[in-house]
Amino acid sequence: MDNPREDPLKGFGRLRYVEELLFHAGDAGISLAAIAKRCGVNRTTIHRDIRKLMDDGVPIWCDKGKYGIERTNYLRAVRLNLHEAADFHRGGIKV
């Protein structure tokens, strides 16, 4: 995740990537500029994305211009395809 993207990420894919960057930033956090560079977009766009993530319940902290995810209050979203979701619903997924 260290390489900046040459092509800008769009929409939902960018939101998930921003969420991953924030999660992996740990206690040190990451700046809007660093996230924007990695996503190939403007800082304003990243600020809006962070607001959307917060509205979706992602516990994001900000301190001295650095952002991160409050890990103690964070539950990662589980993404399943249709067949996995159907198996899970029937109780067929084994962990």
Q: What digits encode the pLDDT tens for the residues 69-78?
A: 998 877 666 6
Q: 0.85 exceeded by the pTM?
A: no
How large a percentage of the chain has pLDDT more than 90? Answer: 58
Residue carrying the six token digits 């960018």: 14
Q: What digits encode the pLDDT tens for the residues 25-35?
A: 999 999 999 99
- Please report which confidence band the pLDDT of residue 4 belongs to, taking 50, 70 and 90 as the band edges: low
Residue carrying the six token digits 């301190």: 63
Calpha distance 21→17 (Å, rounded): 6
Which has more confidence, 34 or 84? 34
